[in-house]
Structures are given as structure tokens and as C-alpha cells.
Amino acid sequence: MDQTDKLIQRMAAKDPTFMDGFKEECRKLDASVLVTQLRQSQKMSQETLAKKAKVSKSTIARIENGNMNPTLKTLEKLGAAAGKQLTISYT
């Protein structure tokens, strides 16, 4: 177990709501990485992806910066705009 894992465990032990917030931030980070990779793999700018998906450029920027937790509908629109299909799985 590394130092980060130990810190997370200590924080969770002190505050029962910590893990809920931590998991939410992890989901935002996952979406951020996936949307950025999707856009870059298609060699699109944020503006181009936004126009094709019919969302604002600021929506793309907020998702990629980890400041927005996108809805499934938004993720589907982004995937379709890039010629990809959204797939969801449990791990």
C-alpha cells in the first residue's frame, strides 16, 4: 500500500462522507481523460467536437478539466460526434 492509499484510508476513517466525494472526483477524472483521449484520437479541437456534438465549447472544456461530471446523454453525443459508441461496464 503506497502513501496515497494510506492517506485515503485515514481520511475515510475520519470522515464517513469522504469516500463519496472521493469517488465522485474519480468519476470526473475518468470522464476527463476519456473525453480528452476521444477528441485527440479524432484530431479534433474542443470547438470542433462541441459543434459536432451540439454542445458548448465550455462544456467540453469543463469535462476535460475535471470540473463537470457529464451525463450519459452528453457522453453519448460526444461519442457519436467522434464516430464512436458509448459502452458502459462494471469493473
Q: pLDDT for 35-44, tens place per residue?
A: 999 999 999 9
Q: b/e string for 1-36 if b means 16 or more Cβ within 10 A?
A: eeeeeeeeeeeeeeeeeeeeeeeeeeebeebbebbb
Note down pLDDT in tens along the chain; length 91 residues.
Answer: 799 999 999 999 999 899 999 999 999 999 999 999 999 999 999 999 999 999 999 999 999 999 999 999 999 999 999 999 999 888 8
